[in-house]
Copies of this chain bind each other. A is one copy, B any other.
């Protein structure tokens, strides 16, 4: 099961609406269940340094089927996954990456958002990931 481009575009639209609602400019990346990029949008004036971060958050959330922040808690010094960020060409493990699931709970992709505080990044990613039920 894989996310379609049409679904990815609806997710990006929902994420952009949330970003605008909370007065932020975001980079928004969607990957499929193979962690490969399917859609991306950078809002005007969003940091260009966040392009790569949003894509890495989406990839990280997909590769391990977890919110990126969950992995970030485990990758701290002394933690069980210390410095896991060195794998897979570079992971980003702070909040803003969220798996996207279908109605059966199967992961069909992930969204990564970067451009503001991690609270805002996560809120926008969550808004995108849950927009899926609209078209389920």
Q: Are B42 and A37 in contact (CB-based, < 8 A)?
A: yes
Q: Is A125 an interface residue (CB 8 A)?
A: no
Q: Is A77 an interface residue (CB 8 A)?
A: yes
> Which residues from chain B contact A56 at a C-beta distance below 8 Å?
86-87
Q: In the complex, A36→B33 CA distance in Å?
A: 12
Shortest CB distance A51–B (Å) = 5
Against B, the Cβ 8 Å flags (1 = close, 0 = not) of A40-58 are 1111100111111100100
Interface residues of A in 44-101 (CB under 8 A from B): 44, 47-53, 56, 60, 62-65, 72, 75-78, 80-95
A83's contact among B40, B52, B85, by CB below 8 Å, is which? B85
Q: Are B5 and A44 in contact (CB-based, < 8 A)?
A: yes
User: Contacts A39-B41, A44-B5, A51-B37 hold; do A84 and B92 have CB atoms under 8 A apart?
Assistant: yes
Q: Are A51 and B36 in contact (CB-based, < 8 A)?
A: yes
Q: In the complex, A33→B33 CA distance in Å?
A: 11
**A residues neighboring B (CB under 8 Å):** 4-5, 8-9, 33-44, 47-53, 56, 60, 62-65, 72, 75-78, 80-95, 117-118
Given A76-B78, A86-B86, output 14 extra A-B contacts at Cβ < 8 Å.
Answer: A8-B41, A33-B34, A34-B35, A35-B49, A39-B41, A49-B63, A49-B88, A53-B88, A80-B118, A82-B93, A83-B92, A84-B94, A86-B91, A87-B90
